[in-house]
Amino acid sequence: MLGWLGSLPRFAPSSNTLLSFWGIRAPWGRLTASGTLSPFRLPGESAVSTLYYLAFGSNLHPLRLGERVPSAHQVGRIELSGYRLAFHKRGQDGSGKGDLVWTGNPADRALGALFGLDAGEKPDLDAVEGDGYRDDRIRVEHSGRAYDAFVYLGEESFIDPGLWPYRWYRDIVWYGARFQQAPSDYLEAIAAVPAVADPDPERRQRNESLLQRIRDFA
């Protein structure tokens, strides 16, 4: 299945290797923030038992996120207008990881998924995301309700437009987007992102096993 994903042509990515959700109008939640994301904190946040998290990359699939934070439950899909998905954030393994980039262009779209999770598990997710992501805040709407969610955005010092993701990482993002019923153009754009083989056999096998669990997910 999807064997063609692992044999993409190697070419130099365009600036920031960005993906666009071209003109899609879907019955998803609507992003209400404008401009760059402002790092505000919620009043009494430390006392909140449930936090809301906006996923856009490798955590789009609920199985992937659930293995990291078992309390995670999906609230809904979110349409992010004026944003694009990039794979230019340097990960702890040296490869390109997902980032959400503000463009301000209403023609650009990115796909997100809003999850609720227990506040006590957030440090576990922080640890998995690792260095190079800042914990930001964004307000989104779903089914007529506003949610103040946290989102991980790439730190400027960790951005490298020349990075490529590992194949297993790109494919995890693809399967997550498909699970969230992304339009075909969006899925095709992810599949077209240049990717390289992970040189670490143990890490590659571990994540290929994760991919198989995702494929088998009902």
Separation between Cα atoms, residue 126 and residue 131, nearest integer Å: 9
Q: What 3-state class would DSSP assign to 76?
A: strand
CATH topology of domain 17-216: Hypothetical upf0131 protein ytfp (3.10.490)
* pLDDT (tens digit per residue) in 89-104: 999 999 999 999 999 9
pLDDT tens by residue, the chain, 218 residues: 333 333 333 333 333 334 433 333 333 344 444 333 333 344 444 445 999 999 999 999 999 999 999 999 999 999 999 999 999 999 999 999 999 999 999 999 999 999 999 999 999 999 999 999 999 999 999 999 999 999 999 999 999 999 999 999 999 999 999 999 999 999 999 999 999 999 999 999 999 999 999 999 96
Separation between Cα atoms, residue 210 and residue 216, nearest integer Å: 10
The answer to whether the CB of 133 falls within 8 A of the CB of 155 is: yes
Per-residue burial over 160-178, b if 16 or more Cβ lie within 10 Å, else e, is: eeebbbbbbbbbbbbbbbb
Kindly list the strands in the beta sheet with 18-19, ordered across the sheet, starting from the edge strand earlier in the chain.
18-19, 83-90, 96-102
Res 48: pLDDT:
52
* pLDDT (tens digit per residue) in 35-82: 333 333 444 444 459 999 999 999 999 999 999 999 999 999 999 999
Res 218: pLDDT:
61
Res 38: pLDDT:
37
**Type and span of the H or E element at 151:** strand 145-154
The residue behind tokens 């998290």 is 53
Tokens of 204: 């590659």
Give which of 88, 104, 105 is closest to 96, Cα–Cα. 88
Give which of 140, 55, 150 is closest to 97, Cα–Cα. 55
Separation between Cα atoms, residue 26 and residue 13, nearest integer Å: 28
Res 115: pLDDT:
98
Cβ-based neighbours of 218, under 8 Å, separated by 6 or more? none
* Whether the predicted model's global pTM rises above the 0.85 cut: no
Separation between Cα atoms, residue 165 and residue 125, nearest integer Å: 20
Domain borders along the chain are 17-216
Separation between Cα atoms, residue 103 and residue 147, nearest integer Å: 22
Give which of 61, 72, 36 is closest to 190, Cα–Cα. 61
